[in-house]
Amino acid sequence: MNRSAMREIAFQFLYGAEIQKELKIEQIELFLKNMETENDLLKEYVNNIVTGIIEHNDEIKNKIEENLKPDWQIERVSKVNLALLKLAIFEINFQGLPYKAIINEVVELAKKYGGDTSQQFINGVLASIVNQ
């Protein structure tokens, strides 16, 4: 399984957590069990993403809030977009992954899962964060 596919699965988990309004490590095992996967690399990747986002949650939310348009608040951001932003910000800022590749992949996920303006919104917020 390649990194893009694992990133999509991590996004699906994060999106579910946004819907449930709680992000907990304990949910990962059940989520992956329901997917019927035995891929150890996937398990490790999703665990690392979720653990990191929980650990840096306040910093990640602050980055999102600081880079929204002045009249926007984080509560207005769709659950899909919020999950994608958290994933991308964590990988770019806390794992040091190349921002161009991460932004490209997250924008592709926004096209697949988000609304009509999701890709432009995600791209704009992440571009603003990278330019800081």
36 touches 70 (CB < 8 A): no
Task: Write down the pLDDT at residue 52.
Answer: 95
The token duo for 40 is: 């150890």
DSSP symbol at 23: -
DSSP symbol at 94: I
Please give the model's pTM, rounded to 2 decimal places. 0.93
23 touches 14 (CB < 8 A): yes
113 touches 92 (CB < 8 A): no
Task: Write down the pLDDT at residue 32.
Answer: 82
Give me the domains of the chain, ranges plus CATH numbers. 3-131 (1.10.940.10)
Q: Which residue has the higher pLDDT, 84 or 36?
A: 84
CA 90 → CA 49, 58, 63, 70, distances in Å? 8, 11, 10, 23
pLDDT tens for residues 72-111? 889 999 999 999 999 999 999 999 889 999 999 999 999 9
Tell me the residue type at 61.
K
DSSP symbol at 75: G
Q: Do you know the residue count of the chain?
A: 132
Q: What average pLDDT does the segment 1-27 reach?
A: 90
